[in-house]
């Protein structure tokens, strides 16, 4: 039985809109969790957390953890436009990204705990060794997501550049990995403004990708 292409496109649009909402709201939460003017975000002891009040940490935590799962329908949208004629390949890519995103959800849920530990160390109520132990269990989660984003971005560029997706070819320039790289380069080259985007880098990159995906014209892919 043939599926109605217009209904499929409509469904994908709403999934993409959910992904965009997830990126924006998770970015808001992550900004509340760790955005500090001119903060040293490369500090392995997370010193910038000392400038963020516990009520702000709690608000950022709950916004981020509630909104982050909206990335899942967002990636169903992206994979649907990327691999429209290959449902099995689409499912495999979506499953791999779901695995990486779940690790990232755990990571974002632990940020407030790290921040409270930093506060406790500053007040003499905890030991630095506790923070080191938490960091060793915490940071590998987001590194797994970064590797998954790299692989997804290579697939993104290859499929779009060769005309095998429903995206126009110029969308190959706007992979999540390239957007993320531009944000990190901005932070390294212009720290005066880079601090505004680095704490929410993953969400900012995805907000751009989802917004462009929702507005980019559909074209007939090569089967």
Which residues are CB-contacts of 188 (< 8 A; sequence separation ≥ 6)?
Answer: 194
- Determine how many CB atoms are found less than 10 A away from the CB of residue 115: 24
**What percent of the chain is predicted at pLDDT more than 70?**
94
Calculate mean pLDDT across residues 149-159: 98
- pLDDT tops 70 at residue 155: yes
Segments in 35-127 forming alpha helices (H): 54-67, 71-82, 87-122
- Give the pLDDT confidence of 160-208 residue by residue, as tens digits: 999 999 999 999 999 999 999 999 999 999 878 888 999 999 999 999 9
The pTM for the full model equals 0.89
Q: What is the mean pLDDT of residues 100-108?
A: 96
Residue 139 has pLDDT above 50, yes or no: yes
pLDDT at 34 over 80: yes
- Does the pLDDT at position 109 exceed 90? yes
Nearest alpha carbon to residue 75 among 23, 25, 29, 5: 23
């Amino acid at each position: 039985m043939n599926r109605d292409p217009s209904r499929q496109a409509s469904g994908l649009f709403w999934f993409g809109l959910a992904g965009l909402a997830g990126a924006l709201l998770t970015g808001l939460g992550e900004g509340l969790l760790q955005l500090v003017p001119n903060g040293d975000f490369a500090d392995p002891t997370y010193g910038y957390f000392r400038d963020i009040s516990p009520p702000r940490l709690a608000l950022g935590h709950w916004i981020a953890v509630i909104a982050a799962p909206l990335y899942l329908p967002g990636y169903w949208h992206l994979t649907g436009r990327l691999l429209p004629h290959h449902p099995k390949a689409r499912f495999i890519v979506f499953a791999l990204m779901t695995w990486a995103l779940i690790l990232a959800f755990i990571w974002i849920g632990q940020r407030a705990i790290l921040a409270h530990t930093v506060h406790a160390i500053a007040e003499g109520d905890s030991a630095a060794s506790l923070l080191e132990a938490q960091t060793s269990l915490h940071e590998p989660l987001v590194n797994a997501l970064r590797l998954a984003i790299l692989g997804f971005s290579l697939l993104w560029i290859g499929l779009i550049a060769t005309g095998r997706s429903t995206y126009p070819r110029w969308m190959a320039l706007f992979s999540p990995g390239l957007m993320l790289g531009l944000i990190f380069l901005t932070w390294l080259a212009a720290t005066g403004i880079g601090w505004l985007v680095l704490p929410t880098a993953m969400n900012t990159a995805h907000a751009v990708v989802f917004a462009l995906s929702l507005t980019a014209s559909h074209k007939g892919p090569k089967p």
